[in-house]
Amino acid sequence: MRTARDPGRRNEGDAMSRRRTRTICAVSLMAVLAPAAVGCSDGGGTPSSEVSRASAAIASARSSAQAELGKIKGGSQAKREVKAGRVSRDGAGRSVAPLTVTNRGKHTANYAIEVNFRDADGDLVDAVVLHLSKVPPHQPTKATAHSHRKLTGHITAQVGTAVRY
């Protein structure tokens, strides 16, 4: 259980964890957006080539997410500890999914969570990995997953893989 602390004082360790999480998410975002940006040129391609580029960007997002999760050694499967809420849109039109993580372990733990964004047909349209640090046991912790790009239509979020480590 977390102990109460002076609300006016920030813990340096927590600040470092937040910076590390933002850095990891930013690097993940860049890794996924780089291939997608290549497909955004208006080179007069055919509709089928546009679909191919979009499919490649989605495959790249999923592959990047899986590679990032694969780097974690000694973790425990924790998909049942993560719940995704209703997807909304942010000011830039990106899809936003609220998450609730409940650490069912005995000790404070870190999490890596793959969130899959799907369209109305159930097709994968984006995938992101969210990192949470110092999640206390048995205490629901809120987090938010943002899609890498603007997604249109009815979008849902599903937890793909979650690892507690």
Buried b (16+ CB within 10 A) or exposed e, 55-68: eebbebbbebbeeb
> Structure pTM?
0.65
For position 47, what pLDDT does the model report?
A: 58
User: Would you give per-residue pLDDT tens digits along the chain (165 residues)?
Assistant: 444 433 344 444 444 444 444 444 444 444 444 444 444 444 555 656 556 666 676 777 777 777 788 888 888 999 999 999 999 999 999 999 999 999 999 999 999 999 999 999 999 999 999 999 999 999 999 999 999 999 999 999 999 999 999
For position 60, what pLDDT does the model report?
A: 74
Q: Which domain holds residue 62?
A: 12-164
For position 54, what pLDDT does the model report?
A: 62
For position 59, what pLDDT does the model report?
A: 73
Question: Domain count of the chain?
Answer: 1
In a domain, 2, yes or no: no
Cα three-residue angle 119-163-58, rounded to 5 degrees: 30
CA distance 58 to 7: 42
In a domain, 1, yes or no: no
Tokens 């927590």 sit at which residue? 14
For position 150, what pLDDT does the model report?
A: 96
CATH number for the domain that contains residue 72: 2.60.40
Q: What is the DSSP letter of 78?
A: -
For position 23, what pLDDT does the model report?
A: 41
For position 9, what pLDDT does the model report?
A: 40
